[in-house]
Amino acid sequence: MSAQQEPENNHHLVKSEDQDHPANLIPSLCAKFWNLGWVTGTGGGCSIRDGDLVYIAPSGVQKELMKAEDLYVLSLQQQQPDLKNRTYVRSPPHGRPSQCTPLFLAAFTRRGAGCCIHTHSQWAVLVTLLLETQGASKLFEINNIEQIKGFGRGFQKSGNLGYHDTLRIPVIENTAHEEDLTEFLEEAMDKHPDTYAVLVRRHGVYVWGDNVHKAKTMCESLDYLFQLAVQMRHLGIPWLSDIPETLPSAKAVKQ
């Protein structure tokens, strides 16, 4: 992967007083995610697309400590169609871009996402381990939990899932190198076109959304559901339940 630099290195792309500018948002979000245990020990991260420009963190750095000037910027238009041999319109003087870059790009180019978050949350990892005990199941499914309503219905669909809907998150196997996950993530996207997340066994989760707000909301909702699912399994409560959509009202039950 090459990280070619423009002569002037386009430093202005990561310099803004606006706290909502992607170059400021990525460091501030990662600092918050670190407190949730999502990006500890340099693992995990976050990328934002603003139109044609994609903002990417450096690889192997403490994500909660990075600054706007540490970020790479890539123009989607300037890439080869296969998105390999990537070139950058802005690079910091040292280091290399995140190994998660091709996975983030899959969310931006295949789903039109505006933000993609990768966490190493222990709850996500535990869910994949629990599924592993069920014949290496490739799908996490849960229903009848209020927080499911935090999820969009799917790609190019409006509205959110309802309380009685089943949330399904595909699981892919981990690979020795992050980049090698890309083809499996893309396969999972093709097989589950409406999903906004893909779990990576014994590794973590990728979550994307149309914008930062939606990606963050779904990532938080998912982490809540993963944590709940682990506790439910501990208590012997199944993740899928058969609650009818029309329960008798409390008044009718009383009579």
Ligand X SMILES: CSC[C@@H](O)[C@@H](O)C(=O)COP(=O)(O)O
Between 178 and 186, name the residue whose CB sits nearer to ligand X. Answer: 178
Q: Does 174 bind ligand X (CB under 6 A)?
A: no
Q: Does 248 bind ligand X (CB under 6 A)?
A: no
Q: Does 152 bind ligand X (CB under 6 A)?
A: no
**DSSP-H helix ranges across the chain:** 22-35, 101-111, 122-132, 182-191, 212-234, 250-254
Distance (Å, rounded) from C-alpha 143 to C-alpha 123? 18
The sign of the torsion formed by the CA atoms of 144, 170, 33, 50 equals negative
Q: Does 44 bind ligand X (CB under 6 A)?
A: yes
Q: Does 201 bind ligand X (CB under 6 A)?
A: no
Least spacing, CB of residue 142 vs ligand X, in Å? 25
Helix, strand, or coil here: 238?
A: coil
Distance (Å, rounded) from C-alpha 78 to C-alpha 96? 18
120 carries a ligand binding annotation:
yes
Least spacing, CB of residue 47 vs Zn ion, in Å? 13
Q: What distance lies between CA 222 and its chain's CA centroid? A: 10
Least spacing, CB of residue 174 vs Zn ion, in Å? 9
Between 54 and 100, name the residue whose CB sits nearer to ligand X. Answer: 100
Q: Site mask, ligand X, residues 103-132, x = CB under 6 A?
A: ---------------x--------------
21 carries a ligand binding annotation:
no
Cβ-based neighbour number of residue 202 at 10 Å: 12
What spatial distance separates the first Cα and last Cα of the chain, rounded to whole Å? 71
Please list every residue from 21 through 80 that binds Zn ion, using CB under 5 A: 43
Q: Which are the catalytic amino acids? A: 146
Q: Site mask, ligand X, residues 4-43, x = CB under 6 A?
A: -------------------------------------xxx
Q: Do 209 and 113 contact (CB within 8 A), yes or no?
A: yes
- Output phi, psi for 230, to 5 deg: -65, -45
203 carries a ligand binding annotation:
yes
234 carries a ligand binding annotation:
no
Distance (Å, rounded) from C-alpha 32 to C-alpha 40? 11
Between 161 and 205, name the residue whose CB sits nearer to ligand X. Answer: 205
Residues that bind ligand X (CB under 6 A): 41-45, 57, 59-60, 98-100, 118, 178
Binding-site residue positions for Zn(2+): 118, 120, 203
